[in-house]
């Protein structure tokens, strides 16, 4: 990346902005997904008359970590400082291409894993394991959604960066 190649510098800055937004998003999203999977476990446990303690602990832990992530990223979230250009643009472009494959793989493996637990473990299909299975389904969905959003940030980075420059 050189100072004379304006297109590459813009791409690097735009990707850098998208990377900063991705980091800010990830700091609160993934802990929130942990909390949501805990809530799913707790909700299913209560519905089945089982103990919701594990789910409640995960929900509280996820909410606390998500709030901490949001607080830690407050400065980069509201900064008007230009982003550092992405240091390795080809790697970002590779991530854009590979992310849909990762999302499909995560979802397929999670469905197959839960199906294997239900079919091949002695208590996999029993009602007391349903809260755990619910949690194991919510977590990959949140992970896939986060990856899809991060990819959309990278794909639309030029437009997002231009809008950010206008507001600045």
Per-residue confidence (pLDDT) for residue 119, from 0 to 100: 87
- Which SS3 state, helix, strand or coil, does residue 126 take? coil
CA distance 142 to 103: 10
Per-residue confidence (pLDDT) for residue 7, from 0 to 100: 47
Output the furthest CA–CA distance in the chain (Å, rounded): 67
Token pair listed for 145 = 């959604």
Taking the model in full, what pTM does it have? 0.85
Per-residue confidence (pLDDT) for residue 1, from 0 to 100: 41
* DSSP notation for 76-123: HHH--SPPPPPS-HHHHHHHHHHHHHHHHHHHHHHHHHHHHHHHHSTT
Series of mean pLDDT values for 10-residue runs along the chain (168 residues) = 44 88 96 96 92 94 97 93 84 90 96 89 77 90 96 93 90
Q: What is the dihedral of CA 108, 99, 69, 13, to 10 degrees?
A: -170
Per-residue confidence (pLDDT) for residue 5, from 0 to 100: 42
Per-residue confidence (pLDDT) for residue 8, from 0 to 100: 45
Per-residue confidence (pLDDT) for residue 124, from 0 to 100: 66
């Amino acid at each position: 990346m050189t100072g004379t190649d304006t297109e590459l510098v813009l791409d690097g800055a735009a990707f850098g902005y998208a990377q900063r937004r991705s980091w800010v998003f990830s700091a609160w999203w993934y802990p929130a997904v942990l909390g949501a999977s805990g809530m799913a476990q707790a909700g299913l446990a209560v519905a089945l008359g089982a103990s919701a303690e594990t789910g409640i602990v995960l929900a509280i832990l996820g909410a606390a970590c998500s709030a901490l992530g949001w607080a830690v990223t407050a400065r980069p979230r509201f900064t008007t400082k230009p982003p550092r250009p992405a240091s390795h643009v080809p790697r970002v472009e590779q991530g854009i291409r590979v992310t849909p494959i990762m999302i499909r793989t995560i979802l397929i493996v999670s469905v197959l894993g839960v199906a294997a637990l239900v079919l091949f473990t002695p208590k996999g299909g029993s009602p007391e394991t349903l809260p755990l299975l619910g949690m194991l389904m919510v977590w990959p969905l949140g992970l896939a959604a986060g990856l899809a959003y991060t990819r959309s940030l990278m794909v639309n980075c030029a437009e997002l960066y231009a809008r950010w420059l206008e507001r600045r």
